[in-house]
Structure 1
Amino acid sequence: MQDVADRAGVSLTTVSFVVNDTKPVAAATRARVEAAMTALGYRRNVLARALASRRSRIVALAFPALSHRLGSTALAVVTAAASAANERGFNVVLWPVDDAAQLEDYVAGGLVDGVLLMEVTADDPRVPVLQRLGTPFGLVGRTAAPDGLAFVDMDFAGMVAAGLDHLLGLGHQRVALFLGELGPALAGYGPVARTEAAYLDEARRRGLDPVVVRSAQDPRSGHVAAARLVADHPGVTAVLALNEAALYGFVNGLVGGGRSVPGSMSVLGLATSAEAISTADPPVSAVVAPGPELGRHSVHMLLDRLADPAAAVVHELLPGELHLAGSTAPPPILPPRTRHPMEGSDA
């Protein structure tokens, strides 16, 4: 730092202000210091800077990697969050932590300024840990009772309504819901719970007969679920699908079971990434998840909170967008039932 100060013609204190960003420095002076740093090959010591400013300028995304695969939607959230944080002088780390005790060990080390919890459940055990430790945090998703908790979430109810509007508008009268099946560790997982509740509410409101089919989050399980749907509910002509990892197998299972898509069965994904729907054969229409927006808005929410702890608590729901890729169409027109000669007349 002294070499930098000598080359720039400033004091060591001024170089410290620039390096640690602890006090304002005139633009021309900062430019001279940064030019000297570049010429001398000086690199900021991240740990020293954190000690000087009492900020690591790092935020963590806590992702339960053992319970969830990092699918394309989640990856879009992480990528956008990292980009948004970088624009504000912060870095993002991904913590694959699966239980509250492990999260506490990570946070207690003081390595991050704040935490964003991903894959939030209805009664998420990680929330009271962060509250007890006094760690600034936000939710990418929401709990069953999010009052007082800052969150940015997808509008699952709105996506279900938009999906049903599209399918019913095409003329379908029997629309099933295909969901991911989660283990006991993620009971009450927000996207699944909210989507199912919204579907059942909409079915009641619209006078539909609800059908819910579940499978594990993999293509083979999706294939089996499709066969089960065709066998048990032959009158269903359209499906809303919230199971991104199993979607490819589900569509192929429908085709393998004699249902052409969209000829005799329409499929519409929910909260699915644009990349995921393009891998199915045929490609699947979907109400696409706002993954990038979710990542950006969540990071800004947390960083605004770090800058001003007294700021209002953010509750934000982001809508999905309908992308049509050819997997939805009007239902097949069934031939009229042939009257048996021995059936009685209406007379």
Structure 2
Amino acid sequence: MATMQEVAIRAGVSIATVSFVVNGTKNVSPGTREKVTTAMADLGFRNNVVARALASRRTRILALLFPALEHRLGSTALQFVSSAAARASELGYHLVLWPAGTTADDLTELLSGGLADGVLVMEVKMTDPRIEKLVEMDVPFLSIGRTSDPSALPFVDMDFETTVENGLDYLQGLGHRRIGLVIEDLEGTSMDGYGPHIRVERSFRSGMMRRKLTPVVVACGPSARGGREAARMLLEQDPKLTAVMIMKDDSTFGLVSGLTSAGLSVPDDVSILAVASSNESGAATEPVLSTMNAPGHELGGLAVEALVARLDTGSTELPHVLLPCVLNVADSTVVARER
């Protein structure tokens, strides 16, 4: 296997510069970094993570906690993961997906063994024992999501409150006044208390009430079957509903199907707006859905940058970053008409 000395000769730089690039311990100009990484690729140089860990007493590994058994890794979550992994690599770290559950006990092996320098927490609940455990053990971490009181915790998150307000403004601007919300039914599951669902429902109810409109909210099961059930429940509560906001990508097809089976057309009779979604998910349904696109790519990178800053500089700053979803208008939303 190639050595750092050989990489340095090939790139025309010092061994120290190669070390800076490999370990991410010092900023290197983009041009120099490209020379070094090209030489590494040409020579087949591979980072020896174990050797680096023994030398520095750090693993340069970031653990990303995702409760895979409790919550599906959907398109939005994949945006976070892929962006975080790419940014970690750029900063000289390795991101490891740790499919831990939602209890503090699941962290014991990871934390006690010193397998990771820092931790990113996803799928955060309003009361999250994983975060409580990390605070107790004084482990460097950052959450992608918020607990009920995140004021003393480092986090990045979607601004669900602003997102819902913007979505309601958009639909109301099209003349919609009878608007429903579909979220996933997590009651009685290990994901009961999931922060995004609670924040979206609260924001929707308060936003509708502030507009002097009646909120219609249903929680449904998974997949297209759940979406069809959601359509039935929505129309039971308000047969003259003209718009629906849904935060459940795997059920949007079923929602459209259920409305169609009830003799309604999307979007002529009922407009649909998908929240915390993506253009790709919207395009999987006919008609193509208007979406409030999740800023997963941006937040994944920002989360890693903030955590690495704490690890590399000892910064005690508590980042509080909120980014709203961005509206993308497609075929599923039109001007309201009374039925």
Correspondence 1:80 to 2:83: yes
Distance 1:34 1:264, change over 3 A: closer
Distance 1:217 1:5, change over 3 A: same
Task: Tell me the alpha carbon deviations over residues 78-119 of structure 1, each in whole angstroms, 9 at most, x when there is no partner.
Answer: 011111111111111111111321122122221211111000
Query: For the residues of structure 1 that align with 2:214 and 2:184, how far apart are their CA atoms?
Result: 20
Distance 1:236 1:301, change over 3 A: same
Aligned twin of 1:59: 62
Q: Return 44-53 or 263-272, whichever deviates more.
A: 44-53
Deviation at 1:286, TM superposition (A): 1.3
Aligned twin of 2:222: 217
Distance 1:82 1:43, change over 3 A: closer
Correspondence 1:173 to 2:177: yes
Gaps of 5+ in 2: none
Aligned twin of 2:127: 123
Distance 1:321 1:39, change over 3 A: closer
Deviation at 1:2, TM superposition (A): 12
Q: Is the 8 A contact 1:61 1:116 kept in 2?
A: yes
Correspondence 1:97 to 2:100: yes
Correspondence 1:49 to 2:18: no
Deviation at 1:232, TM superposition (A): 3.3
Query: For the residues of structure 2 that align with 1:141 and 1:253, how far apart are their CA atoms?
Result: 32
Gaps of 5+ in 1: 335-347
Distance 1:51 1:327, change over 3 A: same
Aligned twin of 2:279: 274
Correspondence 1:300 to 2:322: no
Query: For the residues of structure 2 that align with 1:167 and 1:31, how far apart are their CA atoms?
Result: 48
Query: For the residues of structure 2 that align with 1:7 and 1:314, how far apart are their CA atoms?
Result: 37
Query: For the residues of structure 1 that align with 2:36 and 2:238, how far apart are their CA atoms?
Result: 72
Query: For the residues of structure 2 that align with 1:236 and 1:101, how far apart are their CA atoms?
Result: 45
Q: Share of identical aligned residues, percent?
A: 44
Query: For the residues of structure 1 that align with 2:292 and 2:7, how far apart are their CA atoms?
Result: 57
Aligned twin of 1:207: 212
Query: For the residues of structure 2 that align with 1:195 and 1:7, how far apart are their CA atoms?
Result: 52
Q: Is the 8 A contact 1:270 1:286 kept in 2?
A: yes
Deviation at 1:133, TM superposition (A): 2.5
Calculate the aligned-residue CA RMSD, in Å. 3.0
Deviation at 1:269, TM superposition (A): 0.9
Aligned counterpart for 2:244 among listed residues 239, 243, 246? 239
Q: Is the 8 A contact 1:137 1:302 kept in 2?
A: yes
Deviation at 1:310, TM superposition (A): 3.1
Deviation at 1:62, TM superposition (A): 0.5
Correspondence 1:227 to 2:227: no
Q: In terms of Rg, which structure is larger?
A: 1
Query: For the residues of structure 2 that align with 1:31 and 1:324, how far apart are their CA atoms?
Result: 39
Query: For the residues of structure 2 that align with 1:235 and 1:301, how far apart are their CA atoms?
Result: 47
Aligned counterpart for 2:193 among listed residues 165, 173, 188? 188
Distance 1:321 1:5, change over 3 A: closer
Q: Secondary structure at the match of 1:287?
A: strand
Correspondence 1:312 to 2:317: yes
Task: Tell me the alpha carbon deviations over residues 52-79 of structure 1, each in whole angstroms, 9 at most, x when there is no partner.
Answer: 1122111111001111100000001101
Deviation at 1:278, TM superposition (A): 1.1
Aligned twin of 1:148: 152
Q: Secondary structure at the match of 2:114?
A: coil
Q: Is the 8 A contact 1:60 1:114 kept in 2?
A: yes
Query: For the residues of structure 2 that align with 1:88 and 1:127, how far apart are their CA atoms?
Result: 24
Query: For the residues of structure 1 that align with 2:168 and 2:324, how far apart are their CA atoms?
Result: 15
Distance 1:305 1:7, change over 3 A: closer
Distance 1:50 1:168, change over 3 A: same
Q: Is the 8 A contact 1:266 1:328 kept in 2?
A: yes
2:148 alignment partner AA:
A
Query: For the residues of structure 1 that align with 2:7 and 2:182, how far apart are their CA atoms?
Result: 66
Aligned twin of 2:73: 70
Q: Is the 8 A contact 1:289 1:321 kept in 2?
A: yes
Deviation at 1:285, TM superposition (A): 0.5
Deviation at 1:136, TM superposition (A): 0.5
